Amino acid sequence: RAEGQPSLGLPLICNPGRTCWLVNLPDHDPGPGVRDYACGAHSYNGHTGVDIAIRDYSTMEDGVPVVAAAAGTVLRLRDGMLDGDVSLVGRDAVMAQGCGNSVVVGHGGGWETFYCHLRRGSLTVRPGQRVEKGDRLGSVGSSGLAEFPHIHLGVRLNGKIVDPFVGVKRASNCGAGPSPLWDSRALGQLKGTPTALYDAGFAPVEVNPIALRRGFYRDTKLSAKAPLLAFWVDAFWVEQGDRLTLTFTGPKDRKIAAKTFTLDKNQARHLRFVGKRKTVDWHAGSYLGVAVLERTTKDGGKETFRIERRLTIE
């Protein structure tokens, strides 16, 4: 580990892969292209930090703590910006304050960490306050240039952006650096593919993507008179050529709907659903929705991602 560099833990309290997901990495491509530290494309042009998402806006309202990734002193902060979806209000409306509600912590030796997009009114610190690693700074929000609830962690050394997966120096063009900033626990939790089937559920009406990502369609019990039944799945970082299979079955393994989608492009977020309209009342009992994403890797290997949900019809 380089002399004086901070040892960073996760900047929020969550269980990676279960209640939070790594979604965007710093962009290392100096031009209009995109390249993350592992020579993948899990970023977007000009992105400067690490984005870790929570499930939806409903979870955001429950309150997910943002914490200091390392000990230091609060240098400055901003609060008062509304939480929302910048794709709905337009980037120009918030561009000047893209980090949203935020906290900057200094760690000495020119090191600073930035915590962006916090929930309005959630900040718990003040400038000049000393914080220890893991101390609460606020809550995950969706303020500023944010399309979904997440924390953006940025790291700078003397004003220069540093990728915490790489550190100050790197030994090769691809892969983590010899002295990453993450502590061993955080690095272990965050390494690997950002692809995830992170959410799934059922809807008794036509699925509206905006409503879904606001936290709707989370019922585990529905009426036998529901006008339709749909099983949906939401994913982070699908790739061209992935095969996504959704299977929806009812009591006694009766098939409600099933379909395999071959995905035609890389996408940071991808939503699919299958379903059926009611012709007669639905059979009472237990229903099962299963989504499986299958991928052939560049070296010919296989990766499989799976999520399932259960529904009771009364």
Query: 239: domain CATH number?
Result: 2.20.130
Q: What is the mean pLDDT of the chain?
A: 94
Do 212 and 174 lie in a common domain?
A: no
Do 24 and 159 lie in a common domain?
A: yes
Do 112 and 227 lie in a common domain?
A: no
Q: What's the CATH number where 81 sits?
A: 2.70.70.10
Tell me, yes or no, whether 31 lies in a domain.
Answer: yes
Contact 222, 50 (CB under 8 A): no
Tell me, yes or no, whether 8 lies in a domain.
Answer: no
Q: 28-37, 95-104, 236-245: which range is least confident on average?
A: 95-104
pLDDT band at 55 (very low <50, low <70, confident <90, very high): very high
Separation between Cα atoms, residue 17 and residue 172, nearest integer Å: 28
Do 206 and 181 lie in a common domain?
A: no
Do 73 and 204 lie in a common domain?
A: no
Separation between Cα atoms, residue 243 and residue 52, nearest integer Å: 25
Of 162, 190, 218, the domain-final residue = 190
Q: What is the pLDDT of residue 90?
A: 72
Q: How many domains does the chain have?
A: 2
Q: What is the mean pLDDT of residues 163-189?
A: 93
Query: Is the pLDDT confidence value at 44 over 80?
Result: yes
Q: What is the pLDDT of residue 84?
A: 85
Query: Is the pLDDT confidence value at 9 over 80?
Result: yes
Question: What amino acid occupies position 181?
Answer: L
Question: What amino acid occupies position 206?
Answer: E
Q: What is the pLDDT of residue 208?
A: 93
Q: In this predicted model, what pLDDT tens digit does every residue of 118-171 receive, in sequence order?
A: 999 999 999 999 999 999 999 999 999 999 999 999 999 999 999 999 999 888
Separation between Cα atoms, residue 268 and residue 236, nearest integer Å: 5
Tell me, yes or no, whether 237 lies in a domain.
Answer: yes
Tell me, yes or no, whether 15 lies in a domain.
Answer: no
pTM assigned to the model: 0.93
Query: Is the pLDDT confidence value at 172 over 70?
Result: yes
Q: What is the mean pLDDT of residues 92-96?
A: 71
Query: Is the pLDDT confidence value at 1 over 70?
Result: no
